[in-house]
Amino acid sequence: MGNRVILGKRGNDYGVFVSKEGHNVLNCARKELLFDSTSHRSGLVYAGAKGLSLSTTPDNFLTTGSKGNLGYIPLVVFTEKNIGERGAHGSGTEMYIDNISQWETTTSTVCPIEAQANPEDGTDTISSMDHPNPALGRTYGDFNTAEEEAVNCAYFVLRIPCAYGYMTSANFG
Amino acid sequence: MANRVLLGKGTSQRGGTDKFGLWVSKPGQDVLTCADDKLIFDTDKGGSADIKGLFQLQTVTGTATASATATVSAGATVNLSFTNFSWGFGVIPFLGLAATTSGDQTGFSNGRFKINSFSTSAVNITNLTSNATVAVSFSVMPSFSNNARF
């Protein structure tokens, strides 16, 4: 059985190191470590939920336990019933999305969303970047509701910043 | 050099001297006094607003691999079985389209599917594509609570 835990020196580094099963923590590659204290962030789960059915109302992940706002938009990992591509032909239209499981995250909420890309309406141009923002909820016109709805959703809010403006040395240094 | 590892009695910033645990701060941060957000390992204070666990995916094959890949025939509904870890609060399965490599290009497989249900030892999925096999990768997390939110 390999050495699994170091509290002290590993190579030229000092800290806490835990390796995966079957890997010697003394000399294994960093990718084989379960925990590495030379990292600046780890997957600490700050909040989460499971078994939710969500529509257009954002779910506030700070309310349970009255959690404090982290001060940044965090990385949130999702899973739900509907995953992967969706596509449909309508009357004169064709709709396609490469992953139906799209989400909006804020500093306090998560919400399923649908893309809003419709260049055929004559008002959107690539140069002006004036496509509307994604809309809350999922009600694509040509998709089967049962194959787009956000049900049996689970998510984990990690104490890791993940948004424009927050990927800074103050948060990762 | 900052104190990086605290193993044993806590400090006031770590919940009080009546708390015991293991805390590890980010490089450059003093584990004795830094804010909670500067910790990369946190056995917390046991409060309702504290860390609930680590995001660590569990093998579903009983081997040392972190995930498994399965293929599901066009239009088929199947059970993908995995080890029952007997976690008290059950499991949360994570499934995605498997990675595929062609030449020097690697990307996600095409496909669409839905998760119909899951138990502590299997997940039931349907391939929504009528004419193509879908390749999915999957792993599981322990659920941290019986409550819907935690």
Residue with tokens 């989460």: A48
Q: In which band, very low, low, confident or very high, does the pLDDT at B139 lie, cut at 50, 70 and 90?
A: confident
Query: How far is Cα A75 from Cα B15, in angstroms, rounded to an integer?
Result: 25
Nearest CA in chain A to B134: A84
Q: Residue B133 in contact with residue B74, Cβ under 8 Å?
A: yes
Q: Do B111 and A84 make contact, defined as CB atoms within 8 angstroms?
A: yes
Q: Where are the domains of chain B?
A: 5-42, 68-142
Nearest alpha carbon to residue B136 among A149, A84, A150, A77:
A84
- Tell me, what's the pLDDT at A62? 96
Query: For A12, left (φ over 0), alpha (ψ -120 to 50), or beta?
Result: alpha
**Candidates A85, A154, A156; nearest CB to B111:** A85
Contacts of B92 in chain A (CB under 8 A): 50, 79, 154
Interface pTM (ipTM) of the complex?
Answer: 0.87
Q: What is the 3-state secondary structure (H, E, C) of A123-167?
A: CCCCCCCCCCCCEECCCCCCCCHHHCCEEEEEEEEEEEECCCCCC
Give yes or no for residue B137 having a pLDDT over 80: yes
Residue range B117-141: average pLDDT? Answer: 89
- Tell me, what's the pLDDT at A130? 65
Q: Is the dihedral of CA B21, A47, A35, B25 positive or negative?
A: negative
Nearest alpha carbon to residue A80 among B42, B77, B123:
B123
Give yes or no for residue B30 having a pLDDT over 60: yes
Q: In which band, very low, low, confident or very high, does the pLDDT at B132 lie, cut at 50, 70 and 90?
A: confident
- Tell me, what's the pLDDT at A126? 59
- Tell me, what's the pLDDT at B75? 92
Which of the residues B48, B52, B116, B134 would you substitute to probe the A interface, choosing the one with the greatest number of A C-beta atoms within 10 Å? B52
Nearest CA in chain B to A17: B24
Residue with tokens 């909006």: A104
**Candidates B7, B48, B51; nearest CB to A45:** B51
Query: How far is Cα A93 from Cα B26, in angstroms, rounded to an integer?
Result: 52
- Tell me, what's the pLDDT at A142? 84
- Tell me, what's the pLDDT at B146? 92
Give yes or no for residue B65 having a pLDDT over 50: no
Q: Do B55 and A45 make contact, defined as CB atoms within 8 angstroms?
A: yes
- Tell me, what's the pLDDT at B142? 92
Q: How many CB pairs under 8 A join A and B?
A: 124
Which residues, including other chains, have CB under 8 Å from residue A112's CB and lie 6 or more apart?
A: A54, A55, A80, A101, A102, A103, A104, A136, A137, A138, A150, A153
Q: Do B55 and A43 make contact, defined as CB atoms within 8 angstroms?
A: yes
Task: Report in angstroms the alpha-carbon separations of B56 from A4, A60, B65, B74.
Answer: 16, 23, 13, 31
- Tell me, what's the pLDDT at B14? 94
Q: What is the 3-state secondary structure (H, E, C) of chain B?
A: CCCCEEEEECCCCCCCCCCEEEEEECCCCCCCCCCHHHEEEECCCCCCCCCCEECCCECCCCCCCCCEEEEECCCCEEEEECCCCCCCCCEEEEEEECEEEECCEEEECCCEEEEEEECCCEEEEEECCCCCCEEEEEEEEECCCCCCEC
**How far off is chain B from A123, nearest CA to CA, in Å?**
31
Q: Do A147 and B110 make contact, defined as CB atoms within 8 angstroms?
A: no
Coil, helix or strand at residue A62: coil
Q: Do B148 and A49 make contact, defined as CB atoms within 8 angstroms?
A: yes
Question: What share of chain B in percent tops pLDDT 70?
Answer: 94
**Candidates A7, A38, A84; nearest CB to B112:** A84
Q: Do A46 and B24 make contact, defined as CB atoms within 8 angstroms?
A: no
Pick out chain A residues at pLDDT < 50: none
- Tell me, what's the pLDDT at B63? 35
Give yes or no for residue B64 having a pLDDT over 50: no
Using one digit for the tens of pLDDT, what is the confidence trace for B41-51?
998 887 878 88
Residue range B109-123: average pLDDT? Answer: 90
The CA-based angle A19-A20-A22, given to 5 degrees, is 105
